[in-house]
Structure 1
Amino acid sequence: MPTLLIEHPITDFPTWHGAFSRFAERRRDGGVIAERVLQPVDDPHYVFVDLEFATVDQARAFRLFLESQVWSVPSRSPALAGSPRARILDTAPVGGASDNC
């Protein structure tokens, strides 16, 4: 399942979460089928977001939306405290007889 993994520093979680929540409908419309927000246990000023999609193309399109319509507009990302890093991940093919782990 393709996952858009996003990570970035934030100024404060309540402000960030409020902005994140305002885009819930856009995430659904963009094909997000599951989401998870994580924070390091030792850093309340950093977040990780996993957004799962049915296809890589949906993940790419949503990343482009975030880059061009959200992160580039300070009023839409008020708690962003640095440049987000966004990568599209997919499940690695593991468990076969040819694995050398």
Structure 2
Amino acid sequence: MFTLHIEHTVTDYDAWKRMFDADPLDRKGSGVSGYRVMRPTGDTAAVMVELDFGSREAGERMSVALAELWKGPAAEMTINPRATLTETVESGTP
């Protein structure tokens, strides 16, 4: 499994969440098999998102699409956006 880890600060979480929920990059059509939205406790302006993919190529395409979104429609609401694609090499339980 491949996961695109996304982190940024948002100027207005509610506005950002509306855009996320509107799904401008068509998560399902882009190969996303699952996602998580997280916020650090004590920092309501920070947002972390994890998008899961079955292939590296789909994750890489989403990373490129996100970079374009951050330059355009999301530019005014995201600060210092960054994304890192990772591959799960092991998972388990304690």
TM-score range, shorter chain: 0.7 to 0.9
Q: Output the aligned Cα RMSD.
A: 1.7
The structure whose residues are more often helix, as a share, is 1
The structure whose residues are more often strand, as a share, is 2
Larger Rg: 1
Q: Which residue of 1 aligns with 2:82?
A: 85
Contact 1:37 1:49 in 2 (8 A): yes
Q: Which residue of 2 aligns with 1:71?
A: 70
Q: Which residue of 1 aligns with 2:9?
A: 9
Cα distance in 1 between the residues matched to 2:25 and 2:12:
23
**Structure 2 letter corresponding to 1:84:** P
Paired residue secondary structure (2:54)? coil
Gaps of 5+ in 2: none
TM-score (norm 2): 0.88
Q: Which residue of 2 aligns with 1:98?
A: none
Gaps of 5+ in 1: 96-101
- The structure 1 segments of at least 4 consecutive aligned residues displaced by more than 6 Å after TM superposition are none
Cα distance in 2 between the residues matched to 1:34 and 1:92:
18
Deviation readout 1:4-36 (Å, 9 max, x if unpaired): 000000112111100111116711110001000
Cα distance in 2 between the residues matched to 1:52 and 1:46:
20
TM-score (norm 1): 0.82
Q: Percent identity?
A: 31
